[in-house]
Amino acid sequence: MTADHGGGGAANSTEAELSDSLKTFGAVLKALREEVGLTQEEFALRVRYSAAYVAKIEQGKRFPPTDLPARAEEALGPVGAKVLTAAARSLTRRAGLASWFQQWAGIEEEAISLYAYECRAVPGLLQPEAYARAVFTRQLPPFTDEQIDRKVAARLERQTLLTERPNTAFTFIIEQAVLERRVGGAAVTRTVIDHLLNVGRRTNVEIQIMPLRQEDHCGVDGQLYMAETPGHQWFGYTEGHRSSSLIADPSEVSVLHQRYGKLRSQALDCRATVNLLKRMRGAL
């Protein structure tokens, strides 16, 4: 779920920075689409992606899926597909997180199920503006005010997934310690808790808190994200300090599934989570 996830690490810090090669690929795709007389909506239907996702690829904001040229052949013709394939090969993948993040962001936008476990910060999809700003303000090396404004805007824009995809099941597990840390102060933490309580009322969103004391905790290897595509393929995503991994190997994704299932059983259920959040808010 930058995805724009939690703490605004290296992957999140590059989410609003568009590489020239991504912009070039987007321009090529747009030109080919317009050449055959298709609107974004019509092209999106042909390649079985959402119109919003196609728009972001054309704008250079999302890394294109590896199978896009193949999917586009029927719509663009064999020559157009070859041109698109060549453009895809020329993409400059940023070192480390950025290329992985761009790919994950696209997977997340199309997901029919999204699982998230966070032990570092509130997941990016659940961050109110005050918290997101507090997170980016504390990054090192420091960002300029303009960079912070751009990153906060990008993070908030991505949160529209929760409302624009009502048929996608979003499940979040958040460590209680993340809220106890009070990033940004008590007032910001109250805003975060209010936001979690509000978002948690949505029928497609489930939020669970992992209590401070849980002797059987199996999340010691750190945060993890998982997404199921419309074709029912599962991907995993993990982040570290200035590093990240997009996980597609079914055997590795299976391990993440096992761990996430155990984490869900160890965390508080949704009703107990609401009660805990209300007690924490009252204590602020």
Q: pLDDT tens digits, residue range 47-85?
A: 988 888 899 899 988 878 778 899 999 999 999 999 998
> CA nearest 54: which of 42, 66, 40?
40
Mean pLDDT along residues 228-247? 87
Sheet holding 234-240, edge to edge: 205-210, 169-175, 113-118, 224-228, 234-240, 243-247
Q: Which residues contact 2 (CB under 8 A, 6 or more apart)?
A: 11, 12, 15, 101, 104, 105, 108, 124, 125, 155, 158
Q: Which residue has the tokens 């420091």?
A: 142
List, for residues 187-210, the tens digit of each pLDDT value: 999 999 999 999 999 999 999 999
Mean pLDDT along residues 79-95? 76
Most confident of 65-74, 95-104, 144-153, 194-203: 194-203
Give the model's pLDDT for residue 94: 42
- The residue with greater pLDDT, 122 or 19, is 122
Give the model's pLDDT for residue 156: 87
Distances from the Cα of 3 to the Cαs of 36, 241, 266, in angstroms? 33, 16, 24
Mean pLDDT along residues 15-31? 77
Give the model's pLDDT for residue 60: 85
In this prediction, residue 102 has a pLDDT band, given cuts at 50, 70 and 90, of low
Lowest mean pLDDT among 172-186, 213-227, 230-244: 230-244
Angstrom distance (rounded) from CA 282 to CA 284: 6
Q: Is the pLDDT of residue 108 over 90?
A: no
In this prediction, residue 12 has a pLDDT band, given cuts at 50, 70 and 90, of very low
Lowest mean pLDDT among 9-18, 155-164, 169-178: 9-18
Q: Is the pLDDT of residue 282 over 80?
A: yes
Mean pLDDT along residues 224-247? 88
147 contacts 17 by C-beta, under 8 angstroms? no
Q: Is the pLDDT of residue 93 over 60?
A: no
In this prediction, residue 95 has a pLDDT band, given cuts at 50, 70 and 90, of very low
Helices (H), 48-122: 51-58, 68-89, 97-110
Q: What pTM does this model have? A: 0.74
Residue 258's Cα: distance from chain center in Å?
21
DSSP 91-139: --PPTTHHHHHHHHHHHHHH-SEEEEEESSS--GGG--HHHHHHHHHT-
In this prediction, residue 104 has a pLDDT band, given cuts at 50, 70 and 90, of confident
